[in-house]
Homo-oligomer: A and B are copies of this chain.
């Protein structure tokens, strides 16, 4: 693990274990440099990482402060593939409805950069949060990048398998959100009524090297859909 990542982790853990509240000032750069025995830029890089993650904010001429402050019961919309997942706060399980290899249609191939006739794993799952239906998920995984999937893997966390089992690193994602009314079929899966509100999320996940490996369409149960999104300035 790189120095700046380790330092970021250490500082984050410190904030957590010491229960530091929003607005609490952290030690000054000089002190952190000495404590971790690294140069200024390394500390800065660690702090930038934490700022990007929404853990702290830095104010020039003043100090480094804890941002913290996520409301309980809200899921991070941006799957926090960071250090410890905030999903640990919840009990999430999956029921696999379908798992097969298909030759996906045009719009899926476009998303995954696949040629005509290429194969992909198709996965249909219902996901539960604390025992309640959270969403129905239709996913396609590029067979070229993810050669093998079975029911066991798919029942658990597919992303965990990809990062830990296959040692692939997830890079970035594009997500498209829409609100609408549930169809008869969706309502059935989610134990709601046809015409009830829904949140639809279409997401394309890419590996570290920019290759798209997963195209997912998720329909969320509106009763369980509470999300938060933290964002920072794009000026720095």
A→B interface (CB under 8 Å):
5, 23, 41, 49, 52-54, 57, 59, 62, 65, 67, 69-71, 74, 77-83, 169-181, 196-199, 206, 208-210, 220, 222, 225-236
Contact = CB atoms under 8 A, between A and B. Distances in A.
A20 to B, nearest CB: 14
A217 to B, nearest CB: 14
A204 to B, nearest CB: 9
Nearest to A74: B176
Nearest to A230: B174
Given A53-B234, A57-B172, A234-B82, A179 B199 contact: yes
Contacts of A233: 81-82, 169-172, 208
A232 B231 CA distance: 12
Max count, chain B CB within 10 A of own CB: residue among A54, A79, A176, A206: A176
Contact of A228 (B176, B230, B231): B176
A59 B41 CA distance: 22
Contacts of A230: 172-175
Contact of A5 (B74, B80, B198, B235): B235
Contacts of A172: 54, 57, 67, 230-233
A52 to B, nearest CB: 7
Contacts of A57: 171-172, 206, 210
Contacts of A206: 57
Contact of A179 (B53, B174, B220, B234): B220
A49 B178 contact: no
B235 A81 contact: yes
